[in-house]
Structure 1
């Protein structure tokens, strides 16, 4: 076998191997477009080497011309791939010049296969034999150059200008990495492009009798490009190792803090999760995780909330934060808290979700226990409060019950007569029903206050709250010789709240006011309850007493738990009342009236204000 066959076949095989390697890299990472371009450069160079070898071993002008025709096909892909590689890898090069070169080379390859012989020659009359690398090869002897050959020469010149412009642009960035790329890649391509172009043009125009030498110069430039890409691959490998070490350290720190980390790539639909995250969701260390498996572990009642949090985060580009339950095969249901962010591309499409997860089951249990204690304390407060009103409420009930008894006795007397007055009997029955309703209302309010229950929010009239308090307290107020004035207009907007709990707050405030004026003269004992609309967003209820007010040093502390100024007080009434009001989204505070006495104000958001 001749040296020419060995060298050109070896060059084609080397280029083929490089092309396969970089094509494989692109298949594994579809974003590595530079590797795809380099793969096309290498594979097309392999084709150029085969056609060049065919020209050198041709036995006739026709055979040489046919090999030259087929050389244009890999040459087209080779030049286009070089232009694209320079544009992608160097990040430079004028776009209009790139498309001009691609357009000219496209026209050349079309004209090449449309011509009788090939694009370069209209005819080849003879071939010659010459010594090359110690053996005889075939070269062009005499031929007529195509009158369109200047177009191919122009395309080669534009390609050189394009590469030179890209290298200069990169060099001007003044960074070490940019200048190395400009020198090795840009300079390497330019140098061997000029050598290949000059030798080819000398042969075509008949200036020199020698073989077409496209493969050797371009093979050297291909090696330069592959070398630089290999440096990037090695650097990427080092970065991957450093990233893995950083990931291990991050996972170690997250595990120490009881946190799990997770990433979902929307492009590949792959999940990455630390062992802590896998354990929290009940996945095995080597178990494959996908969207369906994660969604299947989230409690069905909580899944809509999780989905809504993610959709909102995608739309607003804000961080998401959500708590939800997971049901795992290994253990009972647990509560998880997750927060993180989403990544979208410039077109607004989701590309990635990153989040941190931690187990909050114990915190949830503690919150539930604290809520249970709060309910028990609130209930105890209501029972204690009603205990204070026992005698007054007994009097409040005795009035309608006594009236019922008297009306019943009167009806019995009328029925004993020979001709009972039916009109009078109907009036007596109506009075009995009215008094029964009155007593029933008091008992129903007592039952509601004594019942141990959770907050149940519903549309509520402030006027109803004030009337409830007035109904339960008017007898006690009368017994204390306190003038209780309640004023709530019918035009007040509705609020969202729990009727029993808010009634407890209002009753507690009124009772505190009556306690504060016990030492005042009977003529000055007055409690005023008034409600007003505040800018259509909230309703304010004010409880005003006619006492001496609150001492300045005590005013900041009256809402503290177990702080009291009463001899037999527990100091929990105002603290519980503020907790109830804040649970409704409102405020409760106290201030001294300029005319004397204290004012307790509470605000509750209206239904419209809550919605906004």
Structure 2
């Protein structure tokens, strides 16, 4: 493994202080840290002491006979008290600089490879004391500890860079690097997202300002100038980019500057085209599904009202017949020799009353049967229930069912669709009447009760005294197309539960003791309904 990484400035500054202090303690003109950089050896740090002939960054070829070369080759300390008196060192190039004595020790990387040396040199004979030698070894230990830390950090950095490079090279997400507004590099995925070629990027034609549609630029400036400058990162945000052909692509962008407040960084781009298409399809599917809930609910209402034709006919014929009777009475009073205006007025008032009653019945029928867009409003649930009970009263009488209403007048209003809520009540009432139609050994009683619970909201209970439901049937009662009747499609209760859940409520069923069942509709209230005086 070769070590040619640039050392951090902070480390070099620290080492400079070390050699300055070393030269002062040993009282020599030169203290050096040398670094091997094949094919040369370089002065990495040189003391600022007086008389030092060595300048930082000076280099010399390897194998030129320097003291430090021997230290690096032998991996052992070297002491030369006086090169002028030593045949092995008389031709040493350092003598030409006036440095005739030398003490140096090798400095190694954590993996054992030689880094260089730390040494002191003097212009006069110097045998250097054992204290100075031990001091040099301690200084060497500090250098090697720094190299170990630097090597570890360098490895971690390279590992991170490798991970980033794998991400850049992977065909998963678009990555580009930027300087200012210019994109200086990008992976193939990013270019493919925008429809550009590598030549477009190399030519400098791909710029952030040109990629961004006008309506996004102000927001980009806010992101880049404020958040990025302050924090160094931009959390992922959605925007659009122009493709090369002028079309647009929705993207998710995350940004990180190389330095906080810096003008360079890397961005990650995820193409949201498929996600946006899926979201649109989901919305369309939901819309179509809603139209089909609505269609089934309407069909269910029409079917249910069809079951009540005879009863509804009676409800309408009764006030119309009363109108005819009162009109005939009025005519007789007008034909009398001495017409009584009071009796005539009373007849007309009765006609108005009965006609209004007939109109109300027809309006309720029309509201339940007609198919119209859902209209959310604040509903007084008790009033909605009373209207349904009025429509079904003749059906109940026909089957000898006694209807009891126990309605709490202090209930909050319900935010919802009035007709749909009435449809639920209508289905539950008709089911209860049908369930009791064969009961002969007890009174047929239908009880409709409303109340309020602080934790679960408004309760609407429809309770009958019919034969009940078998345990196996209860578990499947709300399943589509499941029915216990000889006739019918089994959609009524399924639709009812969907309606209630659409109002953020719940519809459940339980068996009464000793007989009958209770359906419980729970709905959230929206505001308190304060009764009038």
- 2:519: which partner in 1? 600
Q: Deviations over 1:227-260 (max 9, x none)?
A: 9868966774565344433565572xxxxxxxxx
- 2:503: which partner in 1? 584
Correspondence for 2:161 among 240, 246, 251: 240
CA distance in 2, matches of 1:332, 1:436: 65
Correspondence for 1:560 among 479, 482, 496: 479
- 2:361: which partner in 1? 442
- 1:460·1:497 contact (CA, 8 Å) conserved in 2? yes
1:533 to 2:452 alignment: yes
CA distance in 2, matches of 1:604, 1:407: 44
- 2:410: which partner in 1? 491
- 1:504: which partner in 2? 423
- 1:573: which partner in 2? 492
* Structure 1 residue 44, shift from structure 2 partner: 11
* Structure 1 residue 546, shift from structure 2 partner: 1.0
- 1:521: which partner in 2? 440
TM-score when scaled to structure 2?
0.58
- 2:168·2:187 contact (CA, 8 Å) conserved in 1? no
Give the 3-state SS of the residue equivalent to 1:557 in structure 2. Answer: coil
- 1:481·1:522 contact (CA, 8 Å) conserved in 2? no
- 1:538·1:604 contact (CA, 8 Å) conserved in 2? yes
Q: Which has the higher helix share?
A: 1
Alignment of 1:391-430 (within 5 A): 391-416=310-335, 420-430=339-349
* Structure 1 residue 288, shift from structure 2 partner: 5.8
Q: Which has the higher strand share?
A: 2
Would the alpha carbon gap of residues 222 and 568 (structure 1) be closer, same or farther in structure 2, given more than 3 Å must change?
A: same
Would the alpha carbon gap of residues 545 and 276 (structure 1) be closer, same or farther in structure 2, given more than 3 Å must change?
A: farther
Give the 3-state SS of the residue equivalent to 1:495 in structure 2. Answer: strand
Give the 3-state SS of the residue equivalent to 1:589 in structure 2. Answer: strand
- 2:461·2:521 contact (CA, 8 Å) conserved in 1? yes
CA RMSD of aligned residues (A): 6.0
- 1:384: which partner in 2? 303
CA distance in 1, matches of 2:480, 2:470: 18
CA distance in 2, matches of 1:392, 1:134: 123
- 1:375·1:453 contact (CA, 8 Å) conserved in 2? no
- 2:400: which partner in 1? 481
* Structure 1 residue 454, shift from structure 2 partner: 4.2
Give the 3-state SS of the residue equivalent to 2:475 in structure 1. Answer: helix
- 1:537·1:606 contact (CA, 8 Å) conserved in 2? no
CA distance in 2, matches of 1:421, 1:596: 57
- 1:370: which partner in 2? 289
* Structure 1 residue 601, shift from structure 2 partner: 1.4
Would the alpha carbon gap of residues 39 and 590 (structure 1) be closer, same or farther in structure 2, given more than 3 Å must change?
A: same
Q: Deviations over 1:308-352 (max 9, x none)?
A: xxxxxxxxxxx9999x99999999999x9x999999xxxxxxx99
List gaps (5 residues or longer) in structure 1. Answer: 1-17, 23-33, 46-51, 54-66, 76-131, 140-178, 209-217, 252-260, 298-302, 304-318, 344-350
List gaps (5 residues or longer) in structure 2. Answer: 19-28, 31-47, 57-91, 100-107, 127-138, 198-205, 220-234, 257-265, 529-533
Give the 3-state SS of the residue equivalent to 1:571 in structure 2. Answer: coil
CA distance in 2, matches of 1:580, 1:363: 21
Would the alpha carbon gap of residues 440 and 289 (structure 1) be closer, same or farther in structure 2, given more than 3 Å must change?
A: farther
Alignment of 1:179-190 (within 5 A): none
* Structure 1 residue 608, shift from structure 2 partner: 6.4
* Structure 1 residue 605, shift from structure 2 partner: 1.8
Count of equivalent residues: 409
CA distance in 2, matches of 1:516, 1:321: 58
CA distance in 1, matches of 2:191, 2:390: 57
CA distance in 2, matches of 1:424, 1:571: 54
CA distance in 1, matches of 2:242, 2:93: 77
* Structure 1 residue 593, shift from structure 2 partner: 0.5
Which deviates more, 531-540 or 225-234? Answer: 225-234
CA distance in 2, matches of 1:518, 1:354: 68
CA distance in 2, matches of 1:326, 1:384: 53
Q: Deviations over 1:374-420 (max 9, x none)?
A: 21111100010010011111111112222223333333444455765
- 1:310: which partner in 2? none
Give the 3-state SS of the residue equivalent to 1:558 in structure 2. Answer: coil
CA distance in 1, matches of 2:476, 2:14: 81
CA distance in 1, matches of 2:188, 2:353: 71
CA distance in 1, matches of 2:395, 2:292: 30
Give the 3-state SS of the residue equivalent to 1:566 in structure 2. Answer: coil
CA distance in 2, matches of 1:247, 1:529: 67
